[in-house]
Structure 1
Amino acid sequence: MRKRAYNVDAVSEMLDLPTSSLYGMIRNKQFPAVKIGKHWRVLKKQLDEHIEKLEDEALW
């Protein structure tokens, strides 16, 4: 079964960002995430879309 969601630690490692920075981006609604119970999760589909958006902005 493929993963549909990642925890913040996994995403921060994938993007080479400090975990605290990613939590700040989530808190400021600059990065898509959902809270399940006490834990934040980043849905794979939203992560892929967010990365594509950033790539498009970088190519202007």
Structure 2
Amino acid sequence: MIAISLQPLLISIQEASKILNIPLCEMYDLVKSEDFPAIKIGRKWRIIVSRLEQWAVSRLEERPNNIGTPLAPVRKRLGGNRR
């Protein structure tokens, strides 16, 4: 028998924004970066759930001094702080 997971494979930008606890405008910037686990399906972006946590952990490992601000390197690369 094959086990079927009830967890979705993909989530919306809005859902990922809530999970990461960051503003929606920052999520739109993140999905455009090469290393963020997102794909575009038609006109909508979807986040790959299985790789989202891996991505967040890798951000913390790259910059251990930024604990509490794990997206600081991404903000810098995308052109500064926008809130």
- TM-score scaled by structure 1? 0.79
Aligned with 1:35: secondary structure? Answer: strand
Normalised to the residue count of structure 2, the TM-score between the two structures is: 0.61
- How far residue 10 of structure 1 moved from its aligned partner, in angstroms, is 0.4
1:37 aligns with 2:23: no
Runs (4 or more) in structure 1 with deviation over 6 Å come to none
Q: How many residues align?
A: 60
Q: Secondary structure at the match of 1:31?
A: coil
C-alpha distance in 2 between matches for 1:58 and 1:20: 22
Q: Gaps (5+ residues) in structure 1? A: none
| 1:10 aligned residue (9, 12, 15) | 15
Higher RCO by CA contacts (8 Å cutoff, separation 6 or greater):
1
Please say which structure displays the higher CA radius of gyration: 2
